[in-house]
Amino acid sequence: MAFPASEKLQTRPATPEPDSGALIKVVAVFLGLAVGVLIPVLVWMGASAQNARNDARAAAQKAATLRAGHEHAAAAATAVTPSFAALAPANADALALAHKTYPAVLPAALPGPVADVHLVLKDVVIQIAPGIKYSAWAFAGGAPGPVIHVRQGQTVKITLTNGGVIPHSVDFHAARIAPNLAFRDVDPGKSITYTFKATDPGVFMYHCGTKPVLAHIANGMYGAIVVEPAAGVLPHADRQYVLVASEWYLSSPGLTAPASIDMAKAHAQTPDWVTWNGYAGQYVKHPLVAKPGETVRFWVVAAGPSFDTDFHVVGTLLDRAWVNGDMTHFQRNVQTVPVPAGGGGVFDVKIGKPGLYPFVSHSFASVDLGQVGLLKVGNVKGTMSH
Ligand code: CU
Ligand code: CU
């Protein structure tokens, strides 16, 4: 798989020109008119001309300062860290093969009337692509955080323990709750607990909501919670997978020392890697599987922090699409469905013919940066480069 380097950001704002010439011309006209007029007036005009020259000089200086400032800003903008997207160690294939994938299989729903979820935030070094290390903030030791599976109507009890060195928090999109209370910052070494009733079915993002949220999400603080309707409400699915899309913005290649976040890249939305479940191309070497004729359900969240995901499975259509995770009805036989950053969608495919079916964001820049996986239907060999 080739990951071409993305282009460097080029911005150069127009610089204002000093307008001292016009001011001097106006003064000259005034001086012309003053010829032959009383001396005190001439003296006054002379003083005015001097003032005007001083004003013009000051204006020119101000413009020069402004221009220098713009050039500085332009230099800062063009000094964005180069892309590291194309980098891969010589043994990338072997590393990709040895990589332990993030478990995409939807875990069993948590039992009992109260789903008890304890997230212990840790600062950890993780792998985000073959041989690429990143200093992440992780809800439970990895990014994404764990998939949480509950049933509609269940009470969800969330405890966040902050094992990091700065404040963090956790915001559940599935909750209807006062965010200033539930999603408030937790100091290092402290915990917070809150409960909410999972009234709304679907697949929802959870994430750290501590400022700057861009950095906290980009550093790995996101995950998915599936709120499944009561058994038998949705059509039967033979297999269920959870996919969380996200981007990584790297300050360094990450090959030797771990990379950390590059905020300029995050603001410019020029990621180095875009991933399914936190690791570039992991389901290419380790495809998700299905048997011919089975119904496969994808629960998809776009964590961003900034990119939408245009969900598409190459070689088939989405037989059912619960757009935006609205579980009250589904669309049939659609090709690509957008999942907004901070949103979710649920998609069924039923594939009769054995083969390798890539699942992607059809925004193909994201594919080149790693957001591609394979659904292997039946016993087929090989891989493909989509
Ligand atoms: Cu955080
Ligand atoms: Cu949010």
**pLDDT for the residue 383:** 59
**pLDDT for the residue 50:** 44
Q: What is the mean pLDDT of residues 97-114?
A: 97
What CATH number should be reported for the domain holding residue 372? 2.60.40.420
Residue 52, CA distances (Å) to 22, 45, 55, 75, 249 in order: 11, 10, 5, 34, 51
Strands 222-228 and 148-151: parallel
Q: Is the pLDDT of residue 167 over 60?
A: yes
More confident residue, 379 or 9: 379
CA of 209 to the centre of ligand 1 (A): 7
Ligand nearest to the CA of 145: 1
Residue 132, CA distances (Å) to 13, 143, 250, 251, 270 in order: 35, 14, 10, 12, 17
**pLDDT for the residue 340:** 98
DSSP 179-238: HHHHT--B-TT-EEEEEEE--S-EEEEEE--PSSHHHHHHTT-EEEEEEEPSTTSSPP-S
CA of 249 to the centre of ligand 2 (A): 19
Backbone angles phi, psi at 196, to 5 degrees: -145, 155
Q: Is the pLDDT of residue 251 over 60?
A: yes
**Which tokens belong to 313?**
């499975």
Residue 32 lies in a domain: no
Residue 143 lies in a domain: yes
**pLDDT for the residue 257:** 97
**pLDDT for the residue 10:** 31
Q: Which residues contact 142 (CB under 8 A, 6 or more apart)?
A: 102, 124, 126, 136, 220, 278
Tell which phi-psi region holds residue 214, choosing left (phi > 0), alpha (psi between -120 and 50) or beta.
alpha
Residue 245 lies in a domain: yes
Ligand nearest to the CA of 212: 1
pLDDT tens sequence across 263-298: 999 999 999 999 999 999 999 999 999 999 999 999
Residue 87, CA distances (Å) to 6, 272, 360 in order: 12, 10, 21
Q: Give me the percent of the chain exceeding a pLDDT of 90.
A: 76
Query: CA 77, 221, 372: angle at the middle one, nearest 5?
Result: 75
CA of 118 to the centre of ligand 2 (A): 19
pLDDT tens sequence across 40-92: 333 333 334 344 444 444 444 444 444 444 444 444 445 568 999 868 899 99
**pLDDT for the residue 23:** 34
Ligand nearest to the CA of 210: 1
CA of 205 to the centre of ligand 2 (A): 7
Residue 316, CA distances (Å) to 3, 38, 61, 313, 358 in order: 25, 92, 64, 6, 10
Residue 30 lies in a domain: no
**pLDDT for the residue 80:** 66
> How sure is the predictor about 9, in pLDDT bands with cuts at 50, 70 and 90?
very low
Residue 25 lies in a domain: no
Residue 295 lies in a domain: yes
Residue 350 lies in a domain: yes
Residue 210 lies in a domain: yes
The residues facing 148 across adjacent strands are 225
pTM here is: 0.80
Ligand nearest to the CA of 187: 1
Instruction: Decide if 129 contacts 84 (C-beta within 8 A).
Output: no
Q: Is the pLDDT of residue 261 over 50?
A: yes
Q: What is the mean pLDDT of residues 110-116?
A: 97
CA of 200 to the centre of ligand 2 (A): 16
CA of 95 to the centre of ligand 2 (A): 33
CA of 160 to the centre of ligand 1 (A): 11
pLDDT tens sequence across 297-325: 999 999 999 999 999 999 999 999 999 99
Ligand nearest to the CA of 119: 1
3-state secondary structure of 272: coil
CA of 182 to the centre of ligand 2 (A): 13
Number of domains observed in the structure of the chain:
1
Nearest to 337 by CA among 363, 371, 356: 363
CA of 315 to the centre of ligand 2 (A): 33
Ligand nearest to the CA of 221: 1
pLDDT tens sequence across 332-357: 999 999 999 999 999 999 999 999 99
CA distance 386 to 372: 7
Q: Is the pLDDT of residue 161 over 80?
A: yes
CA distance 251 to 376: 35
**Structural domain range at position 242:** 92-377
CA distance 371 to 386: 10
More confident residue, 13 or 170: 170
pLDDT tens sequence across 203-230: 999 999 999 999 999 999 999 999 999 9
> Which one-letter DSSP state was computed for residue 324?
G
Q: What is the mean pLDDT of the chain?
A: 84
Q: Is the pLDDT of residue 27 over 60?
A: no
